[in-house]
Structure 1
Amino acid sequence: MPPSDIPSPRPAIRAAPGPRPALPTGVGRVLLGLSLMLIALNLRAIFPSLSALLPEAMRATGAGPAAASLMTTVPVLCLGLFSPAAAPVARRLGTERAVLLALLAVGAGTALRGIGTVPAILAGGLVAGAGIAFGNVLLPGLVKRDFPDRIALLTGLYSMSLSAGAAVAAALTVPAAQALGSWAAGLAVWALPAGAAALLWLPRALPRRPAARAGGPAGARPLWRDGLAWQVSAFMGLQSALAYCVFGWLAPILRERGLDAASAGLLLSVSVVGQMVGCFAAPALATLGRDQRLASTALYGLVVVGLAGCFYAPLGTAWISAALLGLGQGGLLAVALTMILLRAPDAGVAARLSGMAQGIGYTLAAGGPLLVGVIRQASGGFGAVPILFLALAALGVASGLAAGRARVIDLDSPRAPARTTDGGGA
């Protein structure tokens, strides 16, 4: 079935209470959709760009593996720490202005990394990570508000744009650094597209627009007390932990195996291109059966096969392994986003679940790159890292089997269990 026809579990996803802003139409709707995709392109570039130049950054700054691990971890940690603040800021400033603030933070933080010192890279990662956290939370809300009849299609395009931005950064960071004559400039250059996106978004941010309301019945029990919400958050966090381990360390791992810097960056780009395909195709895959358990398990299988190839297969076949890895990881991201929609009974709970899943999930994900750095420093190489990846995959499969069941969160009563669905959620 086409992505726009993805069914929702019964009871159907309902609009949040309260007045809805007038929906964009015609050319305005197309331009808004393209603007959201352009913003999404800027929400992942800082991760693979640092990965591609991490050996140069370590040599130039004298950073050891622990400091390098911290440089790759801080932005991911910020995704979790700053996600809860996005909705309150949007309510105060308006969603469009909050998105503009996010873009400005991404651009400023990325430019700050161009100073080329460890403190500057850490500070830049913190500022840019905060901006990315806001974008992660607010863009899906805009999709729900302005494209209520195309949620699945726009979610697929949005997640695909995230991967596209990472792919471009992975492929072009090393050539850009070589052309500019500085590894630090190769990091800072990605502030330019963020600045361009902010300029294009500025006209929408000038008039204040009402933020989408995150409803919920009065007296409903808190979402953090719901076991299904925690299962969805765990699934989001574990697949994100593997993804950011790949963003931060796949290129250095391949370079240690013998690939040159440019080839390692291109191979990381191949992986991210595979993520684009997985992001777009996975929502339909996730709705073929009664629930999402089989889809999530199969996608984790692709990830394990791809990682094994990157670590152990001949380097001549690493392109195939990277493509399989990306296909699986992109699919897992899209399935995680789809689960948020299908496990929520209405738009208000979906917004709250998205904030919880991203806040908890990305905080959990931040530990992945950090653990890789610790293992490398303790063992003197990456030989033990596959054990960590296999453990994350196993836990991810388990969380998918729990979160992927055809159930819906029920917050109507303090002790209400999650409702099962009768096929519609698959």
Structure 2
Amino acid sequence: MPTNQKWKYSLFITGIIILAFNLRPAITSVGPIIGIIRDELLLDNWNVGLITSLPLLAFAFISPIAPRIANKTGNEKALLYGLIILLSGILIRSLATLLFLYIGTTLVGVGIAIINVILPSLIKGSFPTKIGLMTGLYTTSMSIFAAFGSGFSVPLTVDYGLGWNITLASWGIITVIGIIIWLVAMRNSPAEHEVKLFEPSGKRLLRSGIAWQVTFFMGLQSFLFYVTISWLAEILTAKGYDVTTAGWFVAYMQLISLPATFLTPIIAGKLKDQKVVVYVFGACAIIGYSGLHFNPSIALITLLITLIGFALGASISLALALLGLRTENARQAAELSGMAQSFGYLLASIGPIFIGFMFDLTGNWNSAITFILLVSLIMVAFGVGASRNKYVL
């Protein structure tokens, strides 16, 4: 490959990695400092739960629209618009009033949703023979910075005295860098032609039992992930851990999930059906969340959070893998993806609000943890159904 061509590829890959860096910290940085935001703005727990739910609502409504945007503007420009919308949301919510917090958080969700939907198509068009490698690269990059978002929130807010709003705004630095690099990288795309995105319509799938099982599995595993990201630090604080330690536990949970996230689709693709995978990570979730009822030692809480991280990492990657495994062609996969992400994220958006509301009603976390366990069991049931060796149509 000529040196000039290698340079173009390297620059474009760097741009994709920077895009991936921006996909989660603006959301995961909220959970560890959610109590600080609540106390400063004098909110109830269900109000602060809405902060995590708003991006999910944006995911649900924007995911079906994003392909239409990309098909009109081109994938590269649509990704740039996603970054700009994300940056505007990060800056608006840093104004530290409840209204701007909600508006900015919604825009954060809109920007991330656009990038989420379009990035796989960009990879398909630019690296058609290295889709697996590039997908693994960007998902791992995304997960690492998601963990950083959780881990650094409390130190920046408390130890360095930045305040919650400046801490959340600080993640805009990565977005600014992303915009600058992407402006250069998008002019060096190695794609010979723009890959058009299917504009999904789930109407045919509404009568498919398998499609609904995949959809509810997607929604329930997302429910568990975003509830855990939002409230695990608060639960650990109630168990006696300081806020910094609790925040790093949330980061650890995401980092420890990486091997499961990477390996689960590989294992799932080699199996006739994926029921055994669901049973294994389902057991991890039930054991992990059950242990939060008690006051475990730091060694035991590390084990419990390891199990939870394994379950969450495996479940999200299996949910994404099922979009291909349960369909016969790319158009069906796009339609199932549109249905699963729209309905699924709509279901997931209820989680952080409802768990916060349960704490407001009861004054303790035991009822909320019991409900999380119930959701875990229902997720396993839908996961087993979705793992049957059948196509949606």
Return the TM-score normalized by structure 2.
0.91
Map of 2:342 onto structure 1: 359
Match of 1:101 among 54, 78, 81: 81
Partners of 1:250 and 1:352 in 2: how far apart?
A: 34
Change beyond 3 A, Cα 1:379–1:226: same
**Which of the two has greater helix per residue?**
2
Tell me if structure 1 keeps the 8 A contact 2:286–2:377.
Answer: no
Give the deviation of 1:359 after TM superposition.
1.5
**Contact 1:215–1:349 (CA under 8 A) maintained in structure 2:** no
- For 2:128, the equivalent position in structure 1 comes to 148
- Aligned mate of 1:138, from 118, 136, 147: 118
Cα 1:212–1:60 shift into 2, 3 Å: same
- 1:424 aligns to what? none
Question: Which of 67, 77, 86 is equivalent to 2:47?
Answer: 67
Q: Structure 1 residues 30 and 337, CA, compared in 2 at 3 Å: closer, same or farther?
A: farther
Distance 1:391 1:220, change over 3 A: closer
* 327, 334, 357: which one aligns with 2:310: 327
Shift of 1:56: 1.1
Deviates more, 1:134-143 or 1:165-174: 134-143
Q: Alpha-carbon deviation of 1:215?
A: 5.7
Which residue pairs with 1:374 in the alignment? 357
Write out aligned runs for 1:9-408 (5 A).
26=6, 28-177=8-157, 178-205=159-186, 211-214=194-197, 222-316=204-298, 317-408=300-391
Q: How far apart are the structure 2 equivalents of 1:296 and 1:315?
A: 28
Matched residues in 2 for 1:162 and 1:231: separation? 27
1:14-67 alpha-carbon deviations (Å, 9 max, x no partner): xxxxxxxxxx97554454344323312211112221111111111111111221
After TM superposition, the structure 1 stretch with the greater mean CA deviation from structure 2, 41-50 or 366-375, is: 41-50
Equivalents in 1 of 2:146, 2:222: separation in Å?
Answer: 14
In the alignment, what sits opposite 1:421? none
Task: Report the CA distance shift for 1:221/1:44 in structure 2 as closer, same or farther (over 3 A).
Answer: closer
CA distance in 2, matches of 1:311, 1:120: 36
Question: 2:9, 2:82 → 1: CA distance?
Answer: 22
The alignment's C-alpha RMSD in Å is 2.4
Which shows bigger deviation, 72-81 or 90-99? 72-81
Instruction: Give me the identity figure in percent.
Output: 30
1:244 and 1:369 in contact (8 A); partners too: yes
3-state SS, counterpart of residue 317 of structure 2: helix
TM-score by length of 1: 0.84
Q: Is the 8 A contact 1:140 1:155 kept in 2?
A: yes
SS in 1 for 2:63: helix
Following the alignment from structure 1 to structure 2, what is the Cα–Cα distance between the partners of residues 333 and 144? 21
Contact 1:63–1:118 (Cα < 8 Å) also in 2: no
**Post-superposition offset of 1:306:** 2.0
Residue type of the alignment partner of 1:343: R
Deviation at 1:237, TM superposition (A): 0.9
Cα deviation 1:82-107 (Å, max 9, x = unaligned): 11110111111111111111111222
Cα deviation code 1:226-256 (max 9, x no counterpart): 3332222221111100000011111111111
CA distance in 1, matches of 2:24, 2:198: 30
Distance in 1 separating the partners of 2:390 and 2:307: 30
The CA distance in 2 between the partners of 1:299 and 1:368, in whole Å, is: 20
Residue 313 of structure 2 aligns with an amino acid whose one-letter code is: G
Superposed CA offset, 1:158-182 (max 9, x none) = 3323321210011111112232532
The answer for unaligned runs of 5 or more in structure 1 is: 1-23, 410-417, 419-426
The answer as to whether partners of 1:163 and 1:330 remain within 8 angstroms in 2 is no
Mind listing any 5+ residue stretches in structure 2 that lack a counterpart?
Answer: none
Q: In structure 1, what is the Cα distance between the partners aligned to 2:58 and 2:22? A: 16
Aligned-residue offset at 1:311:
3.8
Give secondary structure in 2 for the equivalent of 1:132.
helix
What's the offset of the Cα at 1:205? Answer: 4.1
Distance 2:170 2:131 in 1: 33
1:358-383 CA-to-partner distances (Å, cap 9, x unmatched) read 12211111011111011111111211
SS of 1:408 mapped into structure 2: coil
In structure 2, the partner of 1:415 is none
| Pair 1:109–1:286, CA change in 2 (3 A) | same
